[in-house]
A and B are shown apart, each in its own frame.
Chain A
Amino acid sequence: MNAIALAAIGLFIFVLGYRFYSKFVAEKIYRLDPNYVTPAHRYKDGVDFVPTNKFVLWGHHFTSVAGAAPILGPAIAVYWGWLPAVLWVVFGTVFAAGVHDFGTLVVSVRNKGQSMGTLANKLVGQRAKILFLFIILILVLMVNAVFAWVIANLFISFPSSVLPVFIQIPLAIWIGHAVYKRNAKMLVPSLVALAVMYFVAVLAAEYQILQIDLVRYMGGEEGAGIFGLGAISSAFFIWIIILMIYVYIASTLPVWKLLQPRDFINSHQLIVGLGILYLGLLFTNPEITAPITNPDANDVSWFPLLFITIACGAISGFHGLVSSGTSSKQLNKETDARFVGYAGAVGEGVLALISIIAVITFFPNADAFKEAYSSFGAASGGGLGNFVQGAGQLAGGLGIPPEVAATIVSIIVVSFAATTLDTSVRLMRYIISELGTEYKVPALEKTHVATTIAVVSSAALVLIPEGPNGFGSGGYLLWPLFGTSNQLLAGINLLLISIWLKRLGRSYLITLIPMIFLMFMTLYAMISQVFTQWAWWNEQSSTLLFVFGALILGFALWICLTAVSALMSKNQTPIDPKE
């Protein structure tokens, strides 16, 4: 099949979803009111509550939620063939992610712009809030571990990307300083920074001396590393330690110093990335070489693991945090929520779709694909590398040399992953502090204590699982756990929206059905993985994965029970829709 046709069909369904389904949800279920005074107007303070143009807010919302996860998940999930992955991305976005992101935004707008954690307390009770905090804690812990592995893996596979990525740090600090202290405009400096990064990338792709290749320094893959480890294991170890030191510093700095200016550069990169891939697709006009379904993929069943592997890109609980954390406080009119929330989810779907296409058009034929995706482990470990190479091939259609294109794509992915890592370590620090307040352990409220706990636990988690390349290379084994915790969070968000709709006396099926679907998949995936793979009586047993899997399973069951009792409960006070 032709890849342009696949992209066109996918995009067409997204358009239909936005045009018709979101309209139905907006008018009949959420019943948006153009005259409702949104929190942005009611509590306008020029800081958090600022009425914002819907296109600007959409741009901000989309760049906040798009990252490396909607690229990595689909690149792994094509293991079962491209059709299941495409179907889940397209229909998951239209029927689950859209109503989820849109719904969290509307519920928050109707509740003074409060976050989902606070709303959990309000709609269900104190226990739900603690449950919410613990799930976010597990989620950010998984994000830290997986994304540290992603960056280390790309640094080892594409050593030419190291220097441009590190150059981004002083450039970002310079921009932050210029804008903050001298009130400079940020568009031109951030474009200059991007140009410098890509220029260094071109040079690094060309000259080996500019490639910081730890494995080569230690005498190649067979060489001896440090502490008696092999070269690759040592490279993973060194990169992960460097990343953790970096992230410790980055997450304790004020956001305007490094995180935000890097976000400006990354926003350009998102547009450059999407532009290169979709234009490249038009110019190369590739055929899909991967199989529609992969009958050889029988070591791990697609059902239910596909729905966990593609988390962001189909539905992600993390979006609910952004919707209710910042976007809801800036919504100008309630009717804008449809565009910001639903179309924001569609944007993420568009990114996931091109990520699938980059991988499934990369291989010369189906046999080459099956060789690269010989097992689920091989798919998880090599998926990202395949995406980078595939994206490089698409970019080749625009006349960019493949090595340069692969370097630039890996820089884009690393930049996204680094921002996610920084944000999620910061978030973990806040949660640890909040739990410290909740359980009266004042030491945990201190910035450096909380950050140390966050960084050390994340580093330990990423270093423990052993992959085929030895110590430190197995971070991807945590991916299903990341997926499940993200889906659980989405499940809670959908539950909260359903409870809210029920108390308003409206139909809540549009959020309840995706919630049941997600909770079923999460429970099924965790039960099958925990008991048939990770438990000590199996061949591939792993105590670490077993413990985390069992913990997530427990949380999933807890949510289901809470959901049933909250939805069945008859003595809930109805909410006045005019409120």
Chain B
Amino acid sequence: MLDKMKKLVAYYEEVLSMPHRQEIARELRNEDDLFLLMLYSEMIGIPNPVYYYTLELYPHMIEKFHDWHLRMGMEKSPLSGIRCC
């Protein structure tokens, strides 16, 4: 009985928190997108003095980078030298 009650409460909490978690994830993703844009702003023509260094991070974030350019409405990677797809 107690187990069932606990399950019910957990279910209820899940229903409540689902849209909220989604919103937090969206907010975090937007921040990440902005950060990526700052790292690779050179690609869209905004001069970036640290571009040379940020490029070093590229292999570590290649998967995320791929998702990012898709989300930004670019079918193919906008970076000509390094291609993720």
A23 interface residue per 8 A CB criterion: no
A interface residues, how many (CB within 8 angstroms):
27
Residues of chain B with a CB closer than 8 A to A48's CB: 22, 26
Given A45-B67, A60-B18, A186-B17: A256 touches B24 (CB 8 Å cut-off): yes
- Min CB distance, A133 to chain B, in Å? 21
- A52 B12 Cβ-Cβ under 8 A: no
| Also in contact, A55 and B11, with CB within 8 A (given A46-B25, A47-B26) | yes
Q: Which residues of B contact A190 (CB under 8 A)?
A: 16
B26 neighbours in A (Cβ, 8 Å): 47-48
- B13 in contact with A186 (CB, 8 Å): yes
Say yes or no for B45: interface residue by CB 8 A criterion: no
Identify which of B11, B12, B19 contacts A260 (C-beta below 8 A): B19
Q: Could you give, for residues 228-272 of chain A, a 1 whenever the CB lies within 8 Å of some chain B CB and a 0 otherwise?
A: 000000000000000000000000001110001001100100000
Q: Are B20 and A186 in contact (CB under 8 A)?
A: yes
A183 and chain B: residue at smallest CB distance: B24
Given A186-B13, A254-B27, A256-B27, the answer on whether A56 and B19 have CB atoms closer than 8 Å is: no
Contact with B along A24-59 (1 / 0, CB 8 A): 000000000000000000000111101011011101
Given the known interface contacts A46-B25, A47-B29, A256-B24, the answer about A60 and B11 at a Cβ–Cβ threshold of 8 Å is no
**Docked pose: A62 CA to B30 CA in angstroms:** 28
Q: Does B9 contact A (CB under 8 A)?
A: yes
Q: A185-B13, A187-B16, A260-B19 are in contact. List 16 more A-B contacts (CB 8 A).
A: A45-B29, A47-B29, A53-B14, A56-B15, A60-B15, A60-B18, A179-B20, A180-B24, A186-B16, A187-B12, A187-B13, A255-B23, A256-B23, A263-B19, A264-B20, A267-B15
| Residue numbers in B under 8 Å from A47 (CB-CB) | 22, 25-26, 29
Contact A50 B9 (CB under 8 A): no
A409 and B46 alpha carbons, distance in the complex (Å): 57
CA distance A48 to B27 in the complex (A): 12
Given contacts A45-B67, A56-B15, A267-B15, contact A187 B9 (CB under 8 A): yes
User: A265-285 toward B: CB 8 Å interface, digit per residue (1/0)?
Assistant: 001000000000000000000
Closest to B71 in A: A45
**Inside 8 A of B19's CB, which chain A residues have their CB?**
60, 260, 263, 326
Cβ of A18 to closest chain B Cβ, rounded Å: 20
B47-85 vs A, Cβ < 8 Å mask (1 yes, 0 no): 000000000000000000001000000000000000000
A-B contact pairs, 10 of them (CB 8 A): A56-B14, A56-B18, A60-B15, A185-B13, A186-B20, A187-B9, A254-B27, A260-B23, A263-B19, A326-B19
Residue of B nearest to A190 (CB): B16
- By the criterion CB–CB under 8 Å, are A264 and B16 in contact? yes
Chain A 55-79 interface residues, beta-carbon cutoff 8 Å to B: 55-57, 59-60, 63
Contact among B13, B15, B29 for A63, CB-based, below 8 A: B15
Q: Determine the chain A residues whose CB is within 8 A of the CB of B67 once the complex forms.
A: 45
Please name the residue on chain B nearest to A326 by beta carbon.
B19
Count of B interface residues, CB-CB < 8 Å: 19
> CB within 8 A of A56: which of B11, B23, B25?
B11
What CA separation (Å) do A47 and B26 show in the bound complex? Answer: 6
* Chain A residues closer than 8 Å to B18, beta-carbon distance: 52, 56-57, 60
Residues of B within 8 A of A264 (CB): 16, 20
| Bound: A326/B26 CA distance, A | 14
A227 to B29, CA, bound (A): 51
CA distance A381 to B16 in the complex (A): 34
CB distance from B64 to the nearest CB of A (A): 11
Q: When the two chains form their complex, are residues B16 and A267 in contact, meaning their CB atoms are under 8 A apart?
A: yes
Cβ-closest 4 pairs across A and B: A59-B15, A47-B25, A187-B13, A256-B23
Which residues from A are CB-within-8-Å of B24?
A: 180, 256
| Chain B hits for A187, CB < 8 A | 9, 12-13, 16
CB neighbours of A53 from chain B (8 A): 14
Chain A residue at minimum C-beta to C-beta distance from B17 = A186
Contact flag A50-B22 (CB < 8 Å), given A45-B67, A256-B27 = yes
**Neighbouring B residues of A254 by C-beta, 8 Å:** 27
Min CB distance, A489 to chain B, in Å? Answer: 23
Q: How far is the CA of A263 from the CA of B26 in the complex (A)?
A: 18
* Contact partners of A50 in chain B: CB under 8 A: 22
* Docked complex Cα distance between A280 and B81 (Å): 70
Q: Which residue of B lies closest to A256 (CB)?
A: B23
Is the Cβ of A260 less than 8 Å from the Cβ of B20?
yes
B13 neighbours in A (Cβ, 8 Å): 185-187
Nearest B-chain residue to A48, judged by Cβ: B22
Nearest-Cβ distance from residue A307 to partner chain B, whole angstroms: 32
In the bound assembly, the distance between CA atoms of A254 and B11 in angstroms comes to 26
Name the distance in Å between A447's Cβ and chain B's nearest Cβ: 16
Q: How far is the CA of A260 from the CA of B29 in the complex (A)?
A: 18
Complex Cα distance, B13 from A55, in Å, reads 12
Q: In chain A between 142 and 182, which residues have their CB closer than 8 angstroms to a CB of chain B?
A: 179-180
Distance in Å from the Cβ of A269 to the closest Cβ of chain B?
A: 12
Bound Cα distance A180, B28 (Å): 11
A residues 390-416 near B (Cβ < 8 Å) are none
CB distance from B80 to the nearest CB of A (A): 26
A-chain residues with CB within 8 Å of residue B23 when the two chains form the complex: 255-256, 260
How many whole Å from A113's CB to the nearest CB in chain B? Answer: 14
Shortest C-beta distance, B4 to chain A (Å), equals: 14
CA distance A489 to B18 in the complex (A): 27
